[in-house]
Structure 1
Amino acid sequence: MELSKKAQQLTDRLNYIKDIFGGKHQEDISLLETRLNEFKTGETENIDEAAATIEDLFSFMEKKLEAKLTPMDKVRIVRHPQRICLKDILENVYDNYTEIGGQNEHTNDPAVLIARAYITRRYGKKTYHQSVMVIGHEKGHGEEFRNGGSAKPWGNAKALHYMHVAETEGIPVHSYIFTPGGDPVEEYPGAAQQIAKNIYEMAGLSVPIISLISEGGSGGAEAFGLADKRLMLSHGYYSVISPEGAAAIEGRLKRGERASAELIEQCAKNLHLTAQDNLSFGYIDKIIQEPLLGARPYHYDFFRTLRQEIIRATDEVMLKSSEFSIFNFSKLRRLQNPDINLDETYVRWHIKRSLRSDLIEERQHKFMRMSRKSYINRQSILGALADTWAEQWREVYNRLVYDIYHRQRKKYVRLREEIEAEWISFKQKTSKPFKNAYNKVRRIDPAAEEELTTLSKWEDENSRNNAWKWVSPKAKEDKAVTCPNSAVHGCIDLWAPDLYNEFAGVCTNCGHHFKMEYQWFMHNCFDENSIHEFNNEWEAGNPLKFPDFDERLQEAREKTKLKSSCITYEARIEGIKCIVAILTAPFRGGSVGAAEGAKLISAIDKARRKRYPLIIYSHGTAGIRIQEGTHGVIQMPRVTIAIRRYMRAGGLYLVLYDTNSFGGPVASFLGCAHYQFAMRSSNLGFAGPAVIKNTTGMDVPPDHHNCYKALSRGHIQGVWDRRDTRTNLKQALLTMGGRNLYYR
């Protein structure tokens, strides 16, 4: 019986090795197979000695193969059904727990598991049960209903709800990331919008967050990943996209085609997605060493190590967030000793409410310090010093004007308004009998009455001829353009010089919006000569040294005359000053990398310092730039934190979508805006139709991401006609606003 059991265990280990290496290292694997078959047949006389010998052989080979692991091998490790899952961690790391969601296929999202758990620690004769909220992705060792750990929007919403429960109860949050990426479901609350909300809220959660990454796939990982301490398993990966997805893009594969194994291996290497890579970039705090070829459920020693590291990370955050004392400093020093048994020490896992703001501030600073050297800044030293001085002066000026002068002025204005209101009420009561007598004898002109009681009409289109300051180059083409709705609405062909000039790319019959260049918005929506660009010396770079990417960047620069996909500038709309950022589709699809993230953060900070409204116009974005790997994906929490600071300071933040906007930007800093609008020519969502087809195998309707669908789902607040953009922006700036900023 023991022989059979041991043989089965070794067979499972051998199959695991075969799965991980995918046909590689056949000589070593064949040797293991031969020796295992000999052991199974029982040809040896001494069974115990044979078992010890083959066990030593397996351990030797696993150690040898461990040294040969490639990044793609590690990807296969974290995807394997034998890989540890969140339930294994709950059973072996925590002393007791109660599942709140994710138990089985009847849960609203089985891919997200939530549990109220505690860790028991003993100090002297006392026993302490320290409560935590455990939130993470559950793969369940290949259980199909788990959706591979890909969370649906309502799963992320449920996780956020219980993060707030943990905040109410004052207990830490432990998040576990085991996901290849979020499920691209657009139904309310929407995959992108919910991830954006999670990132936004986690940036301000007032209890410690500790995250552990095993498989961190892009936006799905970021929904749980904005943490005070980010740990990562040594065989895990954290990436902007899967190696297969990167290979499909790099290989320019058509629908249905598959990338070669060699290209996938190369892309996994080029993405720099391993724990060691991410530690060197500064995107994680510590690597937890796993057993050879990855942790599996029977590695009980590993679970003890994991428990110690989770406790250590939580203790460190708690002590750093507490009031300084010699005792806390001493405890913090002791935590650096890897040999200390943390089950026999005690640190109180509770932060005073008065100190929680410091915890939030430190978390935000942690992410804002990331990826600063991942782009090219060609600004001179003198220019940088001048900008810094101007920013400091503006900060001092605005504090004097807004925080001191206007704050005192508001008190007097409020008192004056109250006195005026009482005076007006008194006048109305005393003059009412005289007004009633006058109204009985006067006559009202019918035309004037109609003007006062009916809605105004938009000006006739003929009066708008030649009203645009900037005209599309397509207006120079002498050809007729057919509206795509002509078969349904009977639209007549339009002459290109008319369509792209005075009609602003809009069909005069059905209102269909043809795509226009970003310059149309830039030059036709703002006051003449009011645009002043800044930070145009910042360039998109190639921090991962991705093959051939420098040449592609240079080609994009020459073609578009831009240095990155983001343009930032100050402008005015009928005298109203604002800060504007544009994501331009012509430059690498409007993808966001480290340079774009830095420019957006700078623009947001400038808007906050100057007390200006902020407008981000997404002319089009394909998501996060995959060739920058985690240098790109880390911009999701970084820019969202900057947006949160701006909005919490009272800033007015507007987002306007055009053409196609998908991926990480929509799932972070764009999707978290309270006021989101879209042009009639726009499509937006978490993932485009081709990506959904390649990842889920599902076909989506042609209008699935249409702006009107997004409006019906509640993801945006309105759809605009391109010709009304300037008017609508002015109206929004005059009617929406923060409590501290002054726009007029």
Structure 2
Amino acid sequence: MNWITNYVRPKLNSMLGRRDMPENLWIKDPETGEMIFHKELEENQYVIPGSGHHMRISARERLKYFFDEGKFETLENPKVTLDPLKFRDEKRYVDRLKEARAKTGMDDAILTALGEVEGLPIVATVQDFAFMGGSLGMAAGEAIIKGFETAVKRERPLVLFAASGGARMQEGTLSLMQLPRTTVAVDRLKEAGLPYIVVLTNPTTGGVTASYAMLGDIHIAEPGALIGFAGPRVIEQTLREKLPEGFQRSEYLMKHGMVDMIVSRKELRPTIARLLKMMLKLPESEATDIPEVVEEAPAPAQRPETQAGAQA
């Protein structure tokens, strides 16, 4: 079989001029099973046209879609001590970091950038769930704090895109200490009179939800995002009760007053621009027309609890 697979088939393909099809040419909608052409999905900012399901995107893709003409300047993350606890489970923590960096091309789970949104200079901080579940450790905490400090220094609003499984367990108490530290950074931004908008993406859970992700002036959620402290499966096991359908999803939380609005990814840039101009009292003819829900996708079915790289 190996001889046929490794020699005969490639030989026949080369003779007939056949080429292997890329594996990622089509992407399957996790909700409906519909097959979507990858290029079409990319042009739609990775929002499934039929169901409105918002797929996860990388931090750099997020910034490219958010800033005017996709132009932005990234800030260098502060350097911190790697593996301060010499932690090891199935793998060494330093090996997990190497793998995450090779996979994402990022130093850690946070990417902060300077750019403009409809001509308004802002600072944007993005958590990338692909980097160890967007978990919050010392490096991520320092990067978030630097983003807030830069916003205060340059007198710019800050928009934070949260996506996390919680605190990074491999750093123990040092990870948990980032929660009060980032909270202080939020307070300093507000003392400077600068707006702070949080965009809650799928998933935003654990200690991140218990700190800076819920301290914004305005909280915007993407459709269908899982948002909460503990996951629904953990809550069900603790309470021994069946949770309501759609529990901890954006639509449920907005109905119960935990988020201010649900906005489709394609409408985030103009919506946030109008909000910021209103908050900064800048002239904007369209600033008075901000819908409560710009685009609401059909409420998704309860999906299995999202696996996170680390939970608080």
Q: Which one of the candidate residues 40, 43, 60 is aligned to 1:519? A: 60
Q: What CA distance in whole angstroms lies between the structure 2 residues aligned with 1:638 and 1:525?
A: 27
**C-alpha displacement of 1:659:** 1.3
Residue of structure 1 in register with 2:232 after alignment: 689
List alignment gaps of at least 5 residues for structure 2.
1-21, 283-312
**C-alpha displacement of 1:569:** 1.5
1:598 aligns with 2:139: no
1:664 aligns with 2:207: yes
Q: What CA distance in whole angstroms lies between the structure 2 residues aligned with 1:563 and 1:696?
A: 39
Contact 2:122-2:151 within 8 A present in 1 as well: yes
1:711 aligns with 2:251: no
Q: What CA distance in whole angstroms lies between the structure 1 residues aligned with 2:99 and 2:30?
A: 32
TM-score with structure 2 setting the length: 0.75
Q: Which one of the candidate residues 636, 641, 653 is aligned to 2:179? A: 636
1:627 aligns with 2:174: no
What number of residue pairs does the alignment pair up? 258
Q: Which one of the candidate residues 45, 53, 59 is aligned to 1:504? A: 45
Residue of structure 2 in register with 1:308 after alignment: none
Q: What CA distance in whole angstroms lies between the structure 2 residues aligned with 1:693 and 1:574?
A: 44
**C-alpha displacement of 1:567:** 0.8
Give the letter for the 2:253 counterpart: A
Q: What CA distance in whole angstroms lies between the structure 1 residues aligned with 2:102 and 2:81?
A: 13
Give the letter for the 1:538 counterpart: K
The farther-off stretch of 715-724 and 699-708 is 699-708
**C-alpha displacement of 1:504:** 2.8
- With over 3 angstroms needed to count, the CA separation of the structure-2 counterparts of 1:551 and 1:699, relative to structure 1, is farther
Contact 1:476-1:496 within 8 A present in 2 as well: no
Corresponding residue SS for 1:572: strand
Q: What CA distance in whole angstroms lies between the structure 1 residues aligned with 2:266 and 2:177?
A: 36
Q: What CA distance in whole angstroms lies between the structure 2 residues aligned with 1:479 and 1:715?
A: 36
Deviations, residues 259-307 of structure 1 (Å, cap 9, x unaligned): xxxxxxxxxxxxxxxxxxxxxxxxxxxxxxxxxxxxxxxxxxxxxxxxx
- With over 3 angstroms needed to count, the CA separation of the structure-2 counterparts of 1:698 and 1:563, relative to structure 1, is farther
1:727 aligns with 2:274: no
Corresponding residue SS for 2:161: strand
**C-alpha displacement of 1:543:** 1.4
Q: What CA distance in whole angstroms lies between the structure 2 residues aligned with 1:625 and 1:520?
A: 24
- With over 3 angstroms needed to count, the CA separation of the structure-2 counterparts of 1:610 and 1:480, relative to structure 1, is closer
Contact 1:540-1:563 within 8 A present in 2 as well: no
Give the letter for the 2:136 counterpart: V
Q: Which one of the candidate residues 103, 122, 141 is aligned to 1:559? A: 103
Contact 2:127-2:134 within 8 A present in 1 as well: yes
Corresponding residue SS for 2:112: strand
Corresponding residue SS for 2:84: coil
Contact 2:166-2:207 within 8 A present in 1 as well: yes
Superposed counterparts of 1:101-116, under 5 Å: none
**C-alpha displacement of 1:519:** 3.1
Q: CA RMSD in A?
A: 2.4
Give the letter for the 1:568 counterpart: T
Q: What CA distance in whole angstroms lies between the structure 2 residues aligned with 1:654 and 1:731?
A: 12
Deviations, residues 505-553 of structure 1 (Å, cap 9, x unaligned): 3343443333333333210110236411112353572111112211111
Residue of structure 1 in register with 2:285 after alignment: none
**C-alpha displacement of 1:682:** 1.4
Q: What CA distance in whole angstroms lies between the structure 2 residues aligned with 1:671 and 1:648?
A: 17
Give the letter for the 2:64 counterpart: H
Q: What CA distance in whole angstroms lies between the structure 1 residues aligned with 2:81 and 2:35?
A: 39
Give the letter for the 2:76 counterpart: N
Residue of structure 2 in register with 1:545 after alignment: 86
Q: Which one has more relative contact order, counting CA pairs under 8 Å at least 6 apart?
A: 2
Give the letter for the 2:28 counterpart: V
Contact 1:539-1:564 within 8 A present in 2 as well: no
Residue of structure 2 in register with 1:298 after alignment: none
1:484 aligns with 2:27: no
Deviations, residues 185-225 of structure 1 (Å, cap 9, x unaligned): xxxxxxxxxxxxxxxxxxxxxxxxxxxxxxxxxxxxxxxxx
Give the letter for the 1:557 counterpart: R
Contact 1:538-1:599 within 8 A present in 2 as well: no
- With over 3 angstroms needed to count, the CA separation of the structure-2 counterparts of 1:598 and 1:537, relative to structure 1, is closer
Contact 2:64-2:70 within 8 A present in 1 as well: no
Superposed counterparts of 1:332-481, under 5 Å: 477-479=24-26, 481=28
Q: What CA distance in whole angstroms lies between the structure 1 residues aligned with 2:41 and 2:50?
A: 15
**C-alpha displacement of 1:582:** 0.8
Residue of structure 2 in register with 1:573 after alignment: 117
- With over 3 angstroms needed to count, the CA separation of the structure-2 counterparts of 1:643 and 1:723, relative to structure 1, is same
Give the letter for the 2:59 counterpart: Y
**C-alpha displacement of 1:480:** 6.2
Give the letter for the 2:82 counterpart: G
- With over 3 angstroms needed to count, the CA separation of the structure-2 counterparts of 1:476 and 1:523, relative to structure 1, is farther
Contact 2:29-2:48 within 8 A present in 1 as well: no
TM-score with structure 1 setting the length: 0.33
**C-alpha displacement of 1:479:** 3.1
- With over 3 angstroms needed to count, the CA separation of the structure-2 counterparts of 1:477 and 1:537, relative to structure 1, is same
Superposed counterparts of 1:210-229, under 5 Å: none
Alignment identity in percent? 27
Give the letter for the 2:25 counterpart: D
Q: What CA distance in whole angstroms lies between the structure 2 residues aligned with 1:528 and 1:655?
A: 22
**C-alpha displacement of 1:675:** 0.5
- With over 3 angstroms needed to count, the CA separation of the structure-2 counterparts of 1:712 and 1:564, relative to structure 1, is same
Residue of structure 1 in register with 2:309 after alignment: none
Contact 2:115-2:123 within 8 A present in 1 as well: yes
Q: What CA distance in whole angstroms lies between the structure 1 residues aligned with 2:244 and 2:37?
A: 29
Structure 1: which 4+ aligned runs deviate by more than 4 Å? Answer: 693-699
Q: What CA distance in whole angstroms lies between the structure 2 residues aligned with 1:654 and 1:626?
A: 27
- With over 3 angstroms needed to count, the CA separation of the structure-2 counterparts of 1:502 and 1:689, relative to structure 1, is same
Superposed counterparts of 1:230-269, under 5 Å: none
- With over 3 angstroms needed to count, the CA separation of the structure-2 counterparts of 1:684 and 1:738, relative to structure 1, is farther
Q: What CA distance in whole angstroms lies between the structure 1 residues aligned with 2:81 and 2:222?
A: 28
Give the letter for the 1:645 counterpart: R
